[in-house]
Amino acid sequence: MRDVSVSNPKPQQVPATAKIEFRDVTKTFGAGTKRMLALSGINLSIEEGQFVSILGESGCGKTTLLRIAAGLIPPSSGSVLMDDVAITRPGRDMGFVFQQSVLLEWRTVLENILLPVEIFKLDMKEHREKALEFLKMLGLSGFENHYPIQLSGGMQQRVSIARALILSPSVLLMDEPFGALDAITREQMNSELLRIWSHSRTTAVFITHDIGEAAFLSDRVVLLGSRPGCVKQIFDIPLPRPRTAEHRYDNRFVCLCRDMKQAMMA
Amino acid sequence: MTAAAIVPMEVGSAERPAWYTTRFGQLSLTLAIFTAVIVVWDLYVRLTGLSALVLPAPYDVWLSLVENTLSGHLINHMWVTLSEILLGFLLGSVIGIALGTITAQSLLMRTILGPYILASQAMPKLALAPIMVIWLGFGIAPKVVIAALICFFPLLENTIIGLTSTNPYQVELFRVLTASRWQLFFKLRVPNALPIIFAGLRVAITLAVVGAVVGEYVGANRGLGALIIAAQGSFDTPLMFAIFVYLTVIGIVLYKIMELLEQTFFSWRHVKPGD
């Protein structure tokens, strides 16, 4: 079951490896004199199994780009394809992590993780095992019956990652999930995210304004320019996986971060 | 009558707690205040030589309370009033929640019905009591209707607020999960609204007592309100005070029942950060 529909019946010339493809995507908000061009001519191909970060200053339209990819808002022109099919609305094949954890405060940790299973009316017992497995992987064993208010911000965001992954989506979209966390917790969360991601190797799109975070997590970093948002430069991150905190002090890592910073400032 | 729950103050539990912060200490202080009020009341009556018609001594009230309870007089009238309270509360709450749920469904509905909702709130419901007696007679019906009218508004309002005050990010989450309209309603809007609706129920149950008693003032021969009017006619002030005790106890018991139900249903609201 996939909630995407074919809008373009023409044969595609996209390479088979492209999982998500942005084609000439523009987005304008408002009308008349208040018309604002948020994204202009975005062309971007994200390969299957890649971890791609979209890096840019606040207000550059990176969240808008992700929301279009999720099918939450339509592009003004152009299209976003997933497996060569235009994305017009959200689907089960997609996990989404918000800036905040967005947990339901009346549900326990386990009930929150299993919410997607409930919505899609899938087998509870089977996914329960999986949810407990995730909790173990994320260092949250024993917290399954706690309520969100009892958890720290970092723990809450880990629960929301487990919720996004519970249905094994082929694409994981993350909108600055660690933006609200302190630097130390954020680095820990980066490592944990990579650990849980390495089990599924799902295609991941990660929005951030933090250069170090983008470089540490990604295979590729897409730098967005501002007003209107456009692809400024793409960086390949050739660091080997699995990555550990040590990589942050690697010469190549430091040089990449410097290059990205210069490109961002340019 | 406040909608907010009284949150017990967290007292620093380090070292040895002061005696007045222990459960026993607090209970003793509460009882001490009660005793002080009774003593001052009694002294005032004795020293001023006030007529029992104006203010009976505490002991006279106690005698009247015991005598009229044992004779079954007060109990019989209490059942009448209590059934008016509960029926009115039930009727008003059900209609309030139902209409609130319907109104919450669309902004258009809220806009169109808005002035009427406001008018129904601004109108003092107790002012309708005389016409209710004309329409519905001297039996239990007009009191039930007045109690229902007075319970209706807090539930209408709280249901609308509860169902429409959903966190927009949580709504977005349900969109991402392709939830149906029903799922959005029952898995997000309703659980989000329930604590707010419950706060409305807690307000309504105490208002229902007022509605029933005032209804009885206007025209009744049974019930605690009718008994107060009768006691006034026969200058039996101690009996009036005995009835006040009954009404207060009824109010407290009903409120506590609601509080208990709330704590049972919404245990998640009572966990503290860091537990």
Looking at residue A216, which CATH number applies to its domain?
Answer: 3.40.50.300
From the CA of A205, how many Å to the nearest CA of chain B?
15
- Lowest mean pLDDT across A213-222, B102-111, B173-182: B102-111
Is residue B172 located within the same domain as residue B66?
A: yes
Asked if the C-beta of A2 comes within 8 angstroms of chain B's C-beta atoms, the answer is: no
Is residue B201 located within the same domain as residue B224?
A: yes
Average pLDDT, chain A: 86
What residues contact A234, with CB distance under 8 A and at least 6 apart? Answer: A220, A221, A222, A223
Asked if the C-beta of A37 comes within 8 angstroms of chain B's C-beta atoms, the answer is: no
pLDDT of residue B202: 92
Residue A9 pLDDT greater than 60, yes or no: no
Nearest-by-Cβ selection for A91 from B170, B178, B273: B178
- List the structure tokens of A100: 């905040």
How many domains in chain A? 1
pLDDT of residue B9: 53
Q: Tell me whether residue A3 is in a domain.
A: no
Task: Decide if A150 and B174 are in contact by the 8 Å CB cutoff.
Answer: no
Asked if the C-beta of A78 comes within 8 angstroms of chain B's C-beta atoms, the answer is: no
Q: Which domain holds residue A125?
A: 49-59+91-224+231-265
Q: What is the ipTM of this complex?
A: 0.85
From the CA of B70, how many Å to the nearest CA of chain A?
47
Is residue B23 located within the same domain as residue B80?
A: no
**Most B CBs within 10 Å: which of A2, A72, A101, A102, as the mutation test of the B interface?**
A102
From the CA of A182, how many Å to the nearest CA of chain B?
18
- Give B272's pLDDT tier (boundaries 50, 70, 90): low
How many domains in chain B? 2
Residue B176 pLDDT greater than 80, yes or no: yes
Nearest-by-Cβ selection for B179 from A91, A108, A119: A119
Enumerate residues 138 to 167 of chain B having a beta carbon within 8 A of any beta carbon in chain A. 167
Q: Which residues of B touch A108 (CB under 8 A)?
A: 268
Q: Is the CA virtual torsion B32, B34, B40, B45 positive or negative?
A: negative
Q: Which amino acid is at A139?
A: G
- Give A5's pLDDT tier (boundaries 50, 70, 90): very low
pLDDT of residue A138: 85
Asked if the C-beta of A241 comes within 8 angstroms of chain B's C-beta atoms, the answer is: no
Residue A122 pLDDT greater than 80, yes or no: yes
Asked if the C-beta of B173 comes within 8 angstroms of chain A's C-beta atoms, the answer is: yes
If you average pLDDT over residues B154-160, what whole number do you get? 92
CA distance B246 to A74: 64
- Lowest mean pLDDT across A227-231, A256-260, B210-214: A227-231
Q: Which domain holds residue B29?
A: 19-50
Is residue B65 located within the same domain as residue B36?
A: no
Residue A192 pLDDT greater than 70, yes or no: yes
If you average pLDDT over residues A122-129, what whole number do you get? 89
Q: Tell me whether residue B56 is in a domain.
A: no
Is residue B124 located within the same domain as residue B43?
A: no
Helix (H, G, I), strand (E, B) or coil at A47: strand
pLDDT of residue A7: 45
- Give A52's pLDDT tier (boundaries 50, 70, 90): very high
Residue B12 pLDDT greater than 80, yes or no: no
pLDDT of residue A88: 82
Is residue B69 located within the same domain as residue B24?
A: no
Residue B14 pLDDT greater than 80, yes or no: no
Is residue B112 located within the same domain as residue B227?
A: yes
Characterize B176-210 residue by residue with b for buried, 16 or more Cβ atoms within 10 angstroms of its Cβ, and e for exposed.
Answer: bbbbeeebbbebbbebbbbbbbbbbbbbbbbbbbb
Q: What percent of chain B has pLDDT over 90?
A: 65
Residue A43 Cα distances to A65, A211, A227, B8, angstroms: 11, 22, 16, 58
Asked if the C-beta of B183 comes within 8 angstroms of chain A's C-beta atoms, the answer is: yes
CATH code for the domain in which residue B264 is found: 1.10.3720.10
CA distance B267 to B194: 12
Most confident of A52-61, A230-239, B175-184: B175-184
What residues contact B202, with CB distance under 8 A and at least 6 apart? Answer: B3, B255, B258, B259, B262
CA distance A128 to B138: 60
Residue B141 pLDDT greater than 80, yes or no: yes
pLDDT of residue B107: 85
Condensed to tens digits (0 to 9), the pLDDT of residues A143-172 reads: 989 999 999 888 999 999 999 999 989 999
Q: Tell me whether residue B212 is in a domain.
A: yes
Is residue B123 located within the same domain as residue B28?
A: no
Q: Tell me whether residue B221 is in a domain.
A: yes
pLDDT of residue B33: 95
Q: Tell me whether residue A114 is in a domain.
A: yes
Is residue B29 located within the same domain as residue B136?
A: no
If you average pLDDT over residues B249-272, what whole number do you get? 86
Residue A206 Cα distances to A131, A222, B172, B256, angstroms: 22, 10, 18, 50
Residue B1 pLDDT greater than 90, yes or no: no
Q: Which residues of B touch A90 (CB under 8 A)?
A: 175-178
Strands A171-175 and A94-97: parallel
If you average pLDDT over residues A183-199, what whole number do you get? 89
Q: Which of B132, B127, B148 is nearest to B220 (CA)?
A: B132
Q: Tell me whether residue B2 is in a domain.
A: no
- Give B121's pLDDT tier (boundaries 50, 70, 90): confident
pLDDT of residue B10: 52
Q: Tell me whether residue B3 is in a domain.
A: no
Record the pTM: 0.79
Average pLDDT, chain B: 88
pLDDT of residue A21: 87
Residue A237 pLDDT greater than 70, yes or no: yes
In contact, B131 and B124? CB cutoff 8 Å? no
Residue B2 pLDDT greater than 70, yes or no: no
Nearest-by-Cβ selection for A3 from B173, B178, B271: B178
**Most A CBs within 10 Å: which of B165, B174, B176, as the mutation test of the A interface?**
B176
Q: Tell me whether residue B73 is in a domain.
A: yes
pLDDT of residue A14: 46
- Pairs of residues, one from chain A and one from chain B, whose beta carbons lie less than 8 Å apart: 60
From the CA of B158, how many Å to the nearest CA of chain A?
18
If you average pLDDT over residues A232-249, what whole number do you get? 86
Helix (H, G, I), strand (E, B) or coil at A63: helix
Q: Tell me whether residue B11 is in a domain.
A: no
Is residue B107 located within the same domain as residue B26?
A: no
CA distance A170 to A197: 11
- Give B158's pLDDT tier (boundaries 50, 70, 90): very high
Characterize A166-197 residue by residue with b for buried, 16 or more Cβ atoms within 10 angstroms of its Cβ, and e for exposed.
Answer: bbebbbbbbbbbbbebeeebbbbbbebbbebb
Q: Tell me whether residue B13 is in a domain.
A: no
- Give B23's pLDDT tier (boundaries 50, 70, 90): confident
If you average pLDDT over residues B33-37, what whole number do you get? 95
pLDDT of residue A8: 45
pLDDT of residue A3: 45
Is residue B45 located within the same domain as residue B71?
A: no
Domain boundary residue among B50, B73, B94? B50
Residue A266 pLDDT greater than 50, yes or no: yes
From the CA of B15, how many Å to the nearest CA of chain A?
25
Q: Which residues of A touch B178 (CB under 8 A)?
A: 3, 89-92, 119-120
Asked if the C-beta of B174 comes within 8 angstroms of chain A's C-beta atoms, the answer is: yes
Residue B192 pLDDT greater than 90, yes or no: yes
CA distance A224 to A61: 8
What residues contact A240, with CB distance under 8 A and at least 6 apart? Answer: none
pLDDT of residue A59: 76
